[in-house]
Amino acid sequence: MAESSVDGPAPARTLEGAGAIVTGGASGLGAASARALVARGARVALVDVNAEQTERTAGGLGDSAVALTADVTDEDAVSKAVEAARQQIGNLRVAVLCAGVGWAERVVARHGPAQMEFFQKVMQVNVIGTYNVLRLTAAAMAENEPDEDGARGAVVMTASVAAFDGQIGQTAYSASKGAIVSLTLPAARDLSRFGIRVNTIAPGVFDTPLLGALPEETRDSLAAGIPFPSRLGQPDDFALLACQLVENPYVNGETIRLDGALRMAPK
């Protein structure tokens, strides 16, 4: 066991007054993350393609939140959103990237081979969109004055357990989320010279608007398959871990499964 430093462990990063940007912030995991950040004293810019819902979500968070509209795959739109966030909430020190889409289709189905347009769409949003926001928010963080530990910011990306346990029909989604997992460590190493940490959360089965459309019987069945706790993950569970990853100064380059010990069956 390593001996403790004479000076003791580095203190947790405080979120009080920190500027944060959350993509996919209009609902689900992003909205929960924005709420948690505001509750900890951060000023948050919610970014989403759904302008009306983003305004409504940000409005519910009071003066500590602003709503911005951008498609994460659009370089110019995200660049403008990052700059607008810096002007409205101050220097960005936190980014939580939750924007994403899903699609279910087998490689070969009754109609023939899978449709390339849907595979490309999932990869475009989940991989290109995530990388686009990562690079632009990190560039903004790199301009921050470092704290006493040399830190300038922290990024939390969103993968999925599908990156590891992809089910039948999840080739596009699993491939996109596997790319986020693979991106995490080299991005953390790339940005280490700026004092910017990068971590990823891989959620399991979460009670988001997507699952909300399922019948109650199906939702109960999904929950029963989770070892413990035997319930669907809540967006607040994700938000709690996102904040903890920002606050803990020594967690870097990690992908953490958040799934109640679930391992997905083939179907």
Across the chain, where does the E strand assignment appear? 19-23, 43-48, 65-69, 92-97, 108-109, 112-113, 153-158, 196-203, 255-258
Active site residues: 173
pLDDT for 10: 60
Beta-bridge partner residues of 68: 47
pLDDT for 206: 93
Residue 112 falls within a domain, yes or no?
A: no
pLDDT for 9: 61
The tens digit of pLDDT for each residue in 103-144 reads 888 999 888 999 999 999 999 999 999 999 999 999 999 999
Residue 119 falls within a domain, yes or no?
A: no
Residues of the chain with pLDDT under 50: 1, 4
The number of C-alpha atoms within 13 Å of 15 and in the hemisphere containing its C-beta is 26
Q: Is 44 in contact with 89 (CB distance < 8 Å)?
A: yes
Give the DSSP letter of residue 61.
T
Residue 9 falls within a domain, yes or no?
A: no
Q: In the block, which residue shows the tokens 């007054």?
A: 17
Residue 5 falls within a domain, yes or no?
A: no
Q: Is 171 in contact with 181 (CB distance < 8 Å)?
A: no
Residue 254 falls within a domain, yes or no?
A: yes
Residue 117 falls within a domain, yes or no?
A: no
For residue 45, give Cα distances in angstroms to 61, 69, 87, 127, 187. 11, 10, 11, 21, 23
Q: Check which CATH number belongs to the domain holding 55 and give it.
A: 3.40.50.720
Count of positions (residues) in the chain: 267
pLDDT for 219: 76
Q: Which residue segment(s) compose the domain that 81 sits in?
A: 19-101+132-168+183-258
pLDDT for 12: 65
Our count of domains for the chain comes to 1
